[in-house]
Amino acid sequence: MIRTDWTRDEIQAIYEQPFMDLLLQAQTVHRAYHNENQVQVSQLMSIKTGACPEDCAYCPQAGIYDTGLDKEKLAAIEAVVEQAKAAKASGATRFCMGAAWREPPSKAMPVLTAMVSQVKALGLETCMTLGMLDNQQATTLAQAGLDYYNHNLDTSPEHYGNIITTRTYGDRLETLAQVRNAGMKVCSGGILGLDETQGDRIGLLHSLATLPQHPDSVPINQLVKVAGTPLEDAEDLDPLDFVRVIATARIVMPASVVRLSAGREVMSDEMQALCFMAGANSLFYGEKLLTTANPEAEADQALFKRLGVTTSHGDPTKAPVNTYQPSAQSAWEKQVEALAKDAMVQ
């Protein structure tokens, strides 16, 4: 049964159970909803790098930090299509395009829609992450054929203000609502290792699992510490805590695809195998994730072979359960309104 009424106490009880019991429960849920030995593979390209006006404490693309990152203008359509072809040749089934913007400028929309249509024509699923969207932008991208839109919540509502001050949690929820209402699939997750507490990890999962409809894709990132950002000296994350988040996400969002995203370059094969055991069934591969390193495709394929895992051609879900109804829009609005009121009280 897919629930969107989880309480924090329920999620905490799942998260804190003995590790082996947690993995067993997660794997049992995983097998009920997904092909147990299949992983969906995506590749990500930065189509516009650096000079972002946001102040995300983890991000080397934020213009206020000196990280030595070269600033680049929006990529040419032809360059994006060529990289998408290479991604497909290496086994990716979804091509994601990311731009360092607060929101996409109006003048860029025709180029972005052309990228979507031409990449989609290659037989790839398409995804973009461009910052916040309004109703018109979301509708335009959906009409161009964009399959997924990524917009992470990053962390819990309580810890969020310690990480980002240039946009609110409510802003992020509003963008997710625009994406869903436009008919695109939602890709939303978070980042672990932001000096958050266990309660913040549970808070992030609670925020995702109580959306009117669970995200279709839930990327779980491990912080990549970059010199020049406020989190360059963040405390290292316990690998088993990372696996616990993957397993808990799988249990509370059973039909969602859970993705291993940034930070895999420091994960051992054994840690990644535990993540797959815990219910992860998607990953990004290629040499880079936007501006940070990522294990190369050949190493990933070698690991898949050792584990007996195959890569799926599309969504590895067995029987997606859709609980979303158009009337659920009011629930989005209520959640945004509640967060706005909380911010005013604080």
Catalytic residues: 52, 56, 59, 96, 127, 187, 259
Consecutive H or E run containing 40: strand 38-48
**Dist CA 132 CA 129 (whole Å):** 9
Stretch (H or E) spanning 245: helix 239-252
Written as one string, the DSSP assignment of 212-244 is: SS--SEEEEEE----TTSTTTTPPPPPHHHHHH
Please report the sign of the dihedral spanned by the C-alpha atoms of residue 90, residue 91, residue 95, residue 99: negative
Beta-strand pair 148-150/125-129: parallel
Q: How far is Cα 296 from Cα 303, in angstroms, rounded to an integer?
A: 11
Q: Which residues contact 22 (CB under 8 A, 6 or more apart)?
A: 14, 15, 244, 247, 248, 278
Token pair 């849920």: residue: 29
Neighbouring-strand partners of residue 218: 258
d(CA 315, CA 323): 18
Q: Classify burial at 26, counting beta carbons within 10 Å of its beta carbon; exposed 0-12, middle 13-18, buried 19 or more.
A: buried
